Structure 1
Amino acid sequence: MRAYRFVTLDVFTDRRFGGNQLAVFPDARGMSDAEMQALAAEFNLSETTFVLPPADPANTARVRIFNRVAEMPFAGHPSVGTGFVLAEAGQAGSLRLEQIAGLVTVEVWRDTAGQVTGTAIAAPQPLAVGQELPAEVAAACASIPSASVVTARHAPTLAADGGNPRLLVEVTAEALAAAAPDLAAFRRVVAEVPALRGFLSLYLYRRDGATVRARMFSPLTGTWEDPATGSAATPLAGFLLRLSGAESAALDIIQGVEMGRPSLLRTTARRTAEGIRATVGGGCVQVLRGEALL
């Protein structure tokens, strides 16, 4: 029997039992793909990460990310949290994580005493804007009236920057509070829209003064609601910059409030020669340590 050490942490928060939960296996050498997927299903969190030696020794590590049912090319809070765990273990300076979607660079945040408090990651790819969907489709998936989808600036739009495409949907404050995923509607939409390739992640947002309030639903992958979604925050930041015409912007996103797990995601976006690039960062707190037996 083999024993693999793991830690769990809460990401995009400065206190335990807030933010988004994550399990990290800091040394997954010797694990099979099937074992990684089984452990991710066993933890039953939105994602679990497995750290391996890098293919290129110039990089820090190779990181594989699994949700409950499949491996992911990139995800935000797993990258932020894994960077935090590696920095706490003694990795110095900025980190470079190899992922399926590309290289993810990690900036480590420390307090005045030098303790690691969080990290910020750069999405591995520039913003890619995809298909628009009708307001009534997004509304049906969120169980809200079609009229509560705000389309003055944009229709519900698919966008990504290395991870799974997210359907970005601006809604009224009342709709954001009342929204709940309709599983039948999600299934119907992915069956009717080939561009979705069997996947739909709904990211609702509403401007609230200088910040944005957001909620994310992905019931087809087992995440009924997500308390903090870094790989939705970065395309949202990039997409809003694209609409504004500005050269760069910083945006704080508050998510998870309705779940009792408030999260703060601090994003930036800027125009570059290769397109709009975005970052997301936040605090992390370790919660559990243990071993998995295989």
Structure 2
Amino acid sequence: MNRRPFAQVDVFTDQPYRGNPLAVVLDGRGLSTEDMQRFTDWTNLSEATFVLPPEHPEADLRVRIFCPGRELPFAGHPTLGTCHAWLEAGGRPKGTDVVQECGIGLVRVRREGTRLAFAAPPLLRGGPLSEAEVVQLARGLGLAREDIAAHAWCDNGPGWRGLLLHSVQQLRTLRPDAGVLGGQFVGLVAPLPAGDDCAFELRAFFPGPGGFSEDPVTGSLNAAVAQWLIGAGLAPAQYRASQGAAVGRAGRIHLAQDSADASTIWVGGDSVTCIRGTVQL
């Protein structure tokens, strides 16, 4: 075992302990997949990442992303949180943007003042869900079928099933039934009233120990939902979303369609370092 530089970062917030925490091991060289998974499970966080030298010639760093029980090809808040920790620790990109290499490929991260934003990767699967899936999801969420205004696959690594609800009140009060929903990744979005500082509110549920877990603030889901909603004309080309109120957080996610390339959606947010030191691994 060696002492390795470590940071615990709160992502999609400028206030410590109000976003989504991430464990970042800034030197993952020599660690096996089993080592990484064991440490991730021990942290009891939604994700941990491990920084490695890049293998792709265009990349500035390589990142392996783990959640409890498995490795992920891509996830949003680990992308921003790892980049924040890497830059803070002295990382220097080759160009203007940081290029992170992960399981899904190369992901660009740009600096927007104090905020970082990543270019959402292409969807692995889009288009509407089947009617049978929508009916099952409604039953598992305690909703009527008519409560769902629209639906789509939002799969960019995690296989999110996205539902747009008519009512934000229903979004805030629903309780998922893990027995009905099984091992599905479910993302919910509802519009907020005019005059709110955000256009939409989201909740994200995924399989976890003992049933379903709720993610405080989810970059991959927000990325895919923005690609869906903006592409379908259900959201403006630039908006802000909130997530995490149901679990005591106040996440803010900035979504924007690239002005020069309409196929690119930028997903941004602030990050703050809450713990900095070393970890024995």
Normalised to the residue count of structure 1, the TM-score between the two structures is 0.84
SS at 1:129 equivalent: coil
Most deviating of 261-270 and 227-236 = 261-270
C-alpha distance in structure 2 between counterparts of 1:281 and 1:236, whole Å = 14
Give the 5 Å matches for 1:1-294. Answer: 1-92=1-92, 93-110=96-113, 117-126=114-123, 128-134=125-131, 135-150=134-149, 154=150, 156-160=151-155, 162-171=156-165, 172-187=167-182, 199-208=183-192, 209=194, 211-220=199-208, 224-244=213-233, 249-270=237-258, 276-294=263-281
C-alpha distance in structure 1 between counterparts of 2:17 and 2:277, whole Å = 18
C-alpha distance in structure 2 between counterparts of 1:182 and 1:223, whole Å = 8
CA drift at 1:137: 1.5
Q: 1:84–1:118: 8 Å Cα contact kept in structure 2?
A: no
Paired residue for 1:192?
Answer: none
Count of residue pairs the alignment pairs up: 270
CA drift at 1:219: 2.8
With over 3 angstroms needed to count, the CA separation of the structure-2 counterparts of 1:130 and 1:147, relative to structure 1, is: closer
SS at 2:263 equivalent: strand
Q: 1:186–1:220: 8 Å Cα contact kept in structure 2?
A: no
- Supply the AA of the counterpart residue of 1:90: G
- Supply the AA of the counterpart residue of 2:49: T
With over 3 angstroms needed to count, the CA separation of the structure-2 counterparts of 1:255 and 1:31, relative to structure 1, is: same
With over 3 angstroms needed to count, the CA separation of the structure-2 counterparts of 1:138 and 1:269, relative to structure 1, is: farther
Paired residue for 1:191?
Answer: none
Task: State, as a whole percentage, how many aligned pairs show the same letter.
Answer: 33
With over 3 angstroms needed to count, the CA separation of the structure-2 counterparts of 1:163 and 1:25, relative to structure 1, is: same
- What per-residue deviation string (whole Å, max 9, x for no partner) do you get for residues 94-129 of structure 1? 21000111101111233xxxxxx3311112325741
SS at 1:166 equivalent: strand
CA drift at 1:268: 1.7
Normalised to the residue count of structure 2, the TM-score between the two structures is 0.88
- Supply the AA of the counterpart residue of 2:278: E
Q: 1:252–1:265: 8 Å Cα contact kept in structure 2?
A: yes
CA drift at 1:131: 4.8
C-alpha distance in structure 2 between counterparts of 1:94 and 1:276, whole Å = 18
C-alpha distance in structure 1 between counterparts of 2:168 and 2:234, whole Å = 25
C-alpha distance in structure 1 between counterparts of 2:22 and 2:179, whole Å = 28
- Supply the AA of the counterpart residue of 1:136: V
CA drift at 1:173: 2.0
- Supply the AA of the counterpart residue of 1:11: V
- Supply the AA of the counterpart residue of 2:221: A
C-alpha distance in structure 2 between counterparts of 1:98 and 1:283, whole Å = 21
Uncovered stretches (5+) of structure 1, i.e. residues with no partner:
111-116, 188-198
- What per-residue deviation string (whole Å, max 9, x for no partner) do you get for residues 44-95 of structure 1? 1111100000003432111000000100000000001111111112234421
SS at 2:264 equivalent: strand
Most deviating of 45-54 and 235-244 = 235-244
C-alpha distance in structure 2 between counterparts of 1:89 and 1:57, whole Å = 22
